[in-house]
Amino acid sequence: MINMTPYSTAGVEFSGNGYREEALETNPFLIAQRQLEEAVEILELDDATHEMLRWPKGEFKFAFPVKMDDGSTRVFHGYRVHYNDARGPAKGGLRFHVKETLDTVRALAAWMTWKTAVVDIPLGGGKGGVTCNPKELTRSELERLSRGYIRRVADFIGPHSDVPAPDVYTNPQIMAWMLDEYEVIARQHLPGVITGKPIALGGSQGRGDATARGGILTLRETAKALGMDLQGATTAVQGYGNAGSYGHKLGAEILGLKIVAASDSRGGIYNPHGLEHKDLAEWKRRTGSVVNFPGAEAITNEEILELDVTILMPAALEGVITHHNADRIQAKIIAELANGPTSLEADHILHDRGVYVIPDFLCNAGGVTVSYFEQTQNAYNYYWSESEVHQRLEAKMVTAYHCVRAMAERMKVHNRLAAYLVSVQRVATAMQLRGWV
């Protein structure tokens, strides 16, 4: 095994490969490092290359004040991590979440590094966020929070260094405020500093559903490879946010999937006869949740993962499939629209049981791919039609999928490890050519 220096993170002490089991299941950065370790061993990379790939190239943790509507001031904690930029500027979303931590951001930045590499776009990996509950903030407070965050990271980002985008509980409007604040600071028009913007401010056609569309395309290719007919295939969507909702819509439209269950942070619903996207999306828009949708029975977020369905789409947060429940997963295919939903131990259990996993940083890479298209359009001030975006996205996702599948078959490893082998080799090669290692 590779020699690893002792360190501690998130209050958990460990040394060498002596990881505590509970840390591996709950700390996403440990999961990311262990996943990387498997790939490094197979690729036989030297210790210096491994050490560079294990850690962020730079990270920024800070506190900043925000004036609330009642005249009080609250202090929020923010983060921005550059993981690796050997292949191009750092790229990654911004989360506003009550459980956001530096280790979460580190893990997401690492996965962004592998994600941009696996679809072979000239970008690196980054991530950021703020520890907060955006549901408790008014619109004006959310705007001041967004602008305050950008004021702190303005020197850390830029069109040619690090380009943020939306993620959990952030959206095009928040990106618009952030873009405006950055351009005020820079005193020039720089639309390429932020992606996922409204189209009126330089956003790209096809960006809204890109994450889900990319996932559905990989699911289509999986069905072809396995000789499966997905028409009417029962599907459960765990996490009914942007990716999950569009996964429902596009899964039904493109593949003919029958979505029988969906959930969000408040709970889940199940109807064996199927759920109509238009009706469920409207219900959530009006009520704020899928819970109590007419004609469906209530289930928990834990139960939805273990339903007897053909396809499971984890589309919420990381760490929902672990060694505690992996042996109870009944789906034949898991399409990971979320980042990091499956632990290292669960990966091996699922693989041994014959569950086909489309790994997160391949399955959900459609979002960053169209973000790259948005940067490209911003750079030369010429914008593509939605059909052009869809065609280019399909080409990237299909090529990436078959590259990973070929690696899995050649090396006789599970799909996530195959995706790591493709990505890590590409990043390591860029580092070596630059003379970093």
| SS3 state of residue 257 | coil
Beta bridge partners of 8: 13
Closest among 274, 264, 290 to 234, alpha carbons compared: 274
Closest among 117, 189, 197, 171 to 374, alpha carbons compared: 197
User: Any idea what DSSP says for residue 342?
Assistant: B
Q: How far apart are CA 229 and CA 138, in angstroms?
A: 46
Give yes or no for a contact between 238 and 315, defined as CB atoms under 8 angstroms apart: yes
Relative to beta strand 125-131, strand 73-84 is antiparallel
Q: How far apart are CA 137 and CA 20, in angstroms?
A: 37
Locate 393 and state its tokens.
Answer: 């996205």
Contacts of residue 278, Cβ cutoff 8 Å, sequence gap at least 6: none
| SS3 state of residue 313 | strand
Give yes or no for a contact between 215 and 364, defined as CB atoms under 8 angstroms apart: yes
User: Any idea what DSSP says for residue 125?
Assistant: E
Q: Is residue 284 annotated as part of the catalytic site, yes or no? A: no
Q: Which run of H or of E encompasses 425?
A: helix 415-434
Give yes or no for a contact between 208 and 246, defined as CB atoms under 8 angstroms apart: yes
Identified catalytic residue from 57, 91, 115, 127? 127
Locate 422 and state its tokens.
Answer: 């493709």
Closest among 375, 346, 340, 414 to 111, alpha carbons compared: 340
Locate 78 and state its tokens.
Answer: 């923010």
Residues designated as active site: 127
